[in-house]
Amino acid sequence: MLFSELGLRASILDAVQELGYQEPTPIQSEAIPRILEGRDVIGSAQTGTGKTAAFALPILSKLGAHGPGPRCLVLEPTRELAVQTHENFVKYAKFTQLRTGLIYGGVGYGKQRDDLKAGMDVIIATPGRLLDHMGEGAIDLSGVKFLVLDEADRMLDMGFLPDVRRIILKCAKERQTSLFSATIPPAIETLITWAMKDPVTVEIGARRSVAETVKHVLYPVAELQKQPLLLALLDQVHWESAIVFCRTRRDADSVEALLCRNRHKAAVIHSDRSQKEREEALNGFKAGRYEVLVATDIAARGLDIADVSHVINYNVPEHPEDYVHRIGRTGRAQATGDALTLFAAGEAPQVAAIERFIGKKVERVKLPGFNYTYTALFDEAKLGPLSERKTKGVRIGKGYFFGPARRR
């Protein structure tokens, strides 16, 4: 299948060609014709499969010439996703007169107000800041004929559904709505019934599967040895760039501090960091200034970071969907990746949930030569209440430093 066979406008095809996309991905070849036809589309495919272009290309194609008010609205759950989607729209619209504006929190209102005044055809927004502008009367959505709810599952997890509903109510009733998500949990189905008209579902691959190019394993370890094991893994596994996911902002900060103390070039990204700091971390990681990006899941979900050789889960993800999402970051574009999850006994229920979700058992492995303290996980038959020996402040192997957590 070729892009030129999909029915897209020539100016859009030129941009696609300039970007060097050889052929549409499966979600693109399925969704683009449906959206061009005017259908409401529910698109579900794994992270990294090109969902952005699957809606951006046909919508830009249908928008045609520049007009007075916003006619397309794309809602994104996080600032980074909004920024990334905006970048994509700008590239895809390069040979058109269409303008794309970006509305998100954590930065000043001035430029966003000016953009809105100047007239944008497409608005990419996070819900909170968009509602602020709406409250000020700075934006009128009544001309929005194309609505996209991107990364809908994450929108739901972050509690944005009420905001999203309020926004949808202000869009044109006669509109085309698309919803894209890596997974479609039941609460999203309710939103679909409410917000969409006779939608077609385009589902690529099993929703629950982990990409076949990814090797993912569990490292059972005593909770108190997670930091030493992380350092030992980074020392012994051959990796080029890694994302380390942590459950809490506190863990993320302390892991980043640990890595920096041990001479890794690491940066952290989570919702307590300012927008500027987050951008610096993300851009620095993409540019190779940092080799490890430590992130909370909320801050990082769906971000398009190419060429991550390793994903390390410092905690077992609480939601099985997140496990699949995170692992989707490695092994992208067919490169073989690796995903490692540190697994303490207290996390056994989450591991069981993941294995039920993906329908198979994840291999348990031990790092050779690591000085493990006992954990009942080594003998899973005995899983249950544990007594873990304390290993605070130890030096292991090559003299890793586990001093008190300090900010850089």
**Cβ atoms of 157 and 296 closer than 8 Å:** no
**Cα–Cα distance measured from residue 124 to residue 107, given in angstroms and rounded to the nearest whole number:** 15
- Considering only the stretches 42-50, 109-117, 165-173, 250-258, report the one whose residues sit in contact with ligand ADP under the rule CB under 6 A: 42-50
Please report how close the Cβ of residue 326 comes to ligand ADP at its closest, in angstroms.
Answer: 12
From candidates 6, 39, 49, 199, binder to ligand ADP by CB under 6 A = 49
Bridge partners, 268 (sequence order): 294
Q: Which residue's entry shows tokens 């969902």?
A: 51
H or E stretch at 397: none
Coil/strand/helix, residue 224: helix
By the rule CB under 6 A, 53 interacts with ligand ADP:
yes
Site residue total, ligand ADP (CB under 6 A): 14
By the rule CB under 6 A, 50 interacts with ligand ADP:
yes
Binding site for Mg ion (CB under 5 A): 51, 302
Q: Which is nearer to ligand ADP, 77 or 302 (CB)?
A: 302
CB atoms under 10 Å from CB of 387, counted, come to 6
From candidates 87, 279, 291, 304, binder to ligand ADP by CB under 6 A = 304
CA 121 to chain centre: 25
**Cα–Cα distance measured from residue 330 to residue 67, given in angstroms and rounded to the nearest whole number:** 40
CB atoms under 10 Å from CB of 206, counted, come to 11
Q: Which is nearer to ligand ADP, 193 or 334 (CB)?
A: 334
By the rule CB under 6 A, 21 interacts with ligand ADP:
yes
Q: Which is nearer to Mg ion, 91 or 113 (CB)?
A: 91
From candidates 6, 8, 24, 308, binder to ligand ADP by CB under 6 A = 24
Which amino acid type is present at position 23?
A: E
From candidates 42, 48, 154, 254, binder to ligand ADP by CB under 6 A = 48
Q: Which is nearer to Mg ion, 116 or 308 (CB)?
A: 308
CB atoms under 10 Å from CB of 114, counted, come to 10
Residue 370 binds which entry of ligand ADP, Mg ion, none, CB below 5-8 Å type-dependent: none
**Cβ atoms of 385 and 353 closer than 8 Å:** no
Q: Which tokens is 347 given?
A: 């996390």
Please report how close the Cβ of residue 51 comes to Mg ion at its closest, in angstroms.
Answer: 5
Bridge partners, 101 (sequence order): 123
Residue 49 binds which entry of ligand ADP, Mg ion, none, CB below 5-8 Å type-dependent: ligand ADP
Please report how close the Cβ of residue 43 comes to ligand ADP at its closest, in angstroms.
Answer: 9
Q: Which is nearer to ligand ADP, 51 or 273 (CB)?
A: 51
User: What does DSSP assign to residue 317?
Assistant: -
Q: Which is nearer to ligand ADP, 21 or 400 (CB)?
A: 21
Pairing of strands 146-149, 72-75: parallel
From residue 23, how far is each of 29, 146, 329, 342, 401 by CA, in Å? 9, 25, 21, 37, 49
By the rule CB under 6 A, 302 interacts with ligand ADP:
yes
Residue 48 binds which entry of ligand ADP, Mg ion, none, CB below 5-8 Å type-dependent: ligand ADP
Q: Where does this chain bind ligand ADP (CB under 6 A)?
A: 21, 24-25, 28, 47-53, 302, 304, 306
